Structure 1
Amino acid sequence: MEPIKQMPTSTRVASLLRKAILSGEYSGDEELSLTKVSNQLGVSRTPVREAFQQLSSEGLITLRMNKGAIVKSIDKKFIIDHFEVRILLECEAVRRAIKNNMDVSDLLKREQKLKNNPNESTIEDYVQVNQDIHRSIWKAADNQKLFQLCEELWNGSSTNNIYPAIEHHLKSLDEHIALLTAIQNKQADKANSIMEKHLTRSMNNLIANFDNK
């Protein structure tokens, strides 16, 4: 199976900032500094500036001339709208991936290894395989525009401030195994249903942050 290329730096930065805003780590009216963010993430200012432009187009931040950006206040409706679009796109990607005979054997092996060796796995291992599974499905859908849109909406692992992150990752691991197995068996409706439930749980995780402020 052809390896999935890493996300461009600006896309990864946008993903991290998007997750922080949607999860409430950054609050409304909080200032984001180009220099501070670039130093925190260990990247140059250019990809951070590009990430700011992307987030501005999504309505998450307001750009300030030569002064970084200001985080916009978001509500639960914003999160629901965000995930409804992700669900539409990623469920369609699953159907197309199955139609295109996606090979999930390597991804299944990686998930089984995590499941069989929980004490040897780090949070970063779960985060990476989560990203690789979703990106592999987008790529297997064989539609560049679909891939691009999914990538632009990516917000990483949707953990919340209520339960330990590992609980989310362990649930995601079981969901991923079920999803990949359904894809392997060409069960499009089942795979579609699993993906929808998987993303809906992520959405509810982020909404829970608002309910518990």
Structure 2
Amino acid sequence: MAAKKTPINTPTYLRLRQQIREDIVAGQWALGRHLTLRELGLHYEVSNVPVREALLQLQGDGMVEMKMNRGAVVRDIDEATLNRFFDIRQALQTMLVRKACALRTDEQLVQAEALLVVFEAACRRSGSTDFFDAERGLYEFIDTLGDNPHAIELMHPRNCLVEAFRRSFGEHSPRDPDRWGRRARRLVRALIARHPAHAAAAMQEHVQVVREHLLRLMTEAPPSP
């Protein structure tokens, strides 16, 4: 998941919030891991004050749970949590792609088609290690075409947590990567045609397939050590 650039004048606790979020995705802090203020302060070479503020921000994002006088715990993901998040994600991404059909520009379509080509290439490579990076790159860009930064900000930290969960199973690809590519092409064609119903249907199908893939991982394979 691409890291967002943080302006240099951003307060320390906000920069720390971003860094901890990225490190959770990278597996530095595993899901379910207990984090103390002291441990984080030593690791990031900052005082306890910005650490506490960063953790409070991450609690608001849904990424950690604060413990009274005991730091925080990185949220773990169970089946119920995963399903609740994907219910919300499906509603928000469907809304965004419907709006994108009306708002997208020709220049943005060129970008979307370029990202689609990258994703389709990853779909064709057996055991591609960059499959999910290419998938996220395309769909996150399409989300931006709906011109609703607030909706994206609601999804982003939860997407990070879900990505950390996916990565905990090690390198893997879906069972039917070619179908993922064909679904993505249907979505881009709907954007080109400005057809919101077709775009919404393609997006809903994609979100459901991602949900099912993660649920299958949960039931079929233990996370990597």
Q: Which residue of 1 aligns with 2:201?
A: 193
Percent identity between the aligned chains? 17
Deviation at 1:178, TM superposition (A): 2.2
Does 1:165 find its partner at 2:172? yes
Does 1:87 find its partner at 2:90? yes
Q: Which residue of 2 aligns with 1:142?
A: 147
Contact 1:160 1:206 in 2 (8 A): no
RMSD, aligned α-carbons: 4.2
SS at match of 1:166: coil
Deviation at 1:95, TM superposition (A): 0.6
Task: Return the alpha-carbon distance in structure 2 between the equivalents of residues 184 and 36 of structure 1.
Answer: 47
Deviation at 1:107, TM superposition (A): 2.6
Task: Return the alpha-carbon distance in structure 2 between the equivalents of residues 138 and 211 of structure 1.
Answer: 29
Task: Return the alpha-carbon distance in structure 2 between the equivalents of residues 150 and 44 of structure 1.
Answer: 29
Within 5 Å, give how 1:1-213 maps onto structure 2.
6=4, 8=6, 10-11=17-18, 13-14=20-21, 17=24, 26-27=31-32, 30-32=33-35, 35=39, 52-57=55-60, 59-64=62-67, 68-72=71-75, 74-102=77-105, 103-116=108-121, 118=124, 123-124=129-130, 126-155=131-160, 159=166, 165-167=172-174, 170=177, 171-212=179-220
Contact 1:18 1:55 in 2 (8 A): no
Deviations 1:158-182 (A, max 9, x none): 7488896223693543332221122
| TM-score, with structure 2 as normaliser | 0.65
Task: Return the alpha-carbon distance in structure 1 between the equivalents of residues 86 and 19 of structure 2.
Answer: 18
Task: Return the alpha-carbon distance in structure 2 between the equivalents of residues 164 and 51 of structure 1.
Answer: 30
Deviation at 1:94, TM superposition (A): 0.1
Contact 2:127 2:173 in 1 (8 A): no
Provide the aligned length of Structure 1 versus Structure 2: 200
Range moving further from structure 2, 175-184 or 65-74: 65-74
Identify if the C-alpha distance between structure 1 residues 177 and 134 changes in structure 2 by more than 3 Å, giving closer, same or farther. Answer: same
Contact 2:127 2:172 in 1 (8 A): no
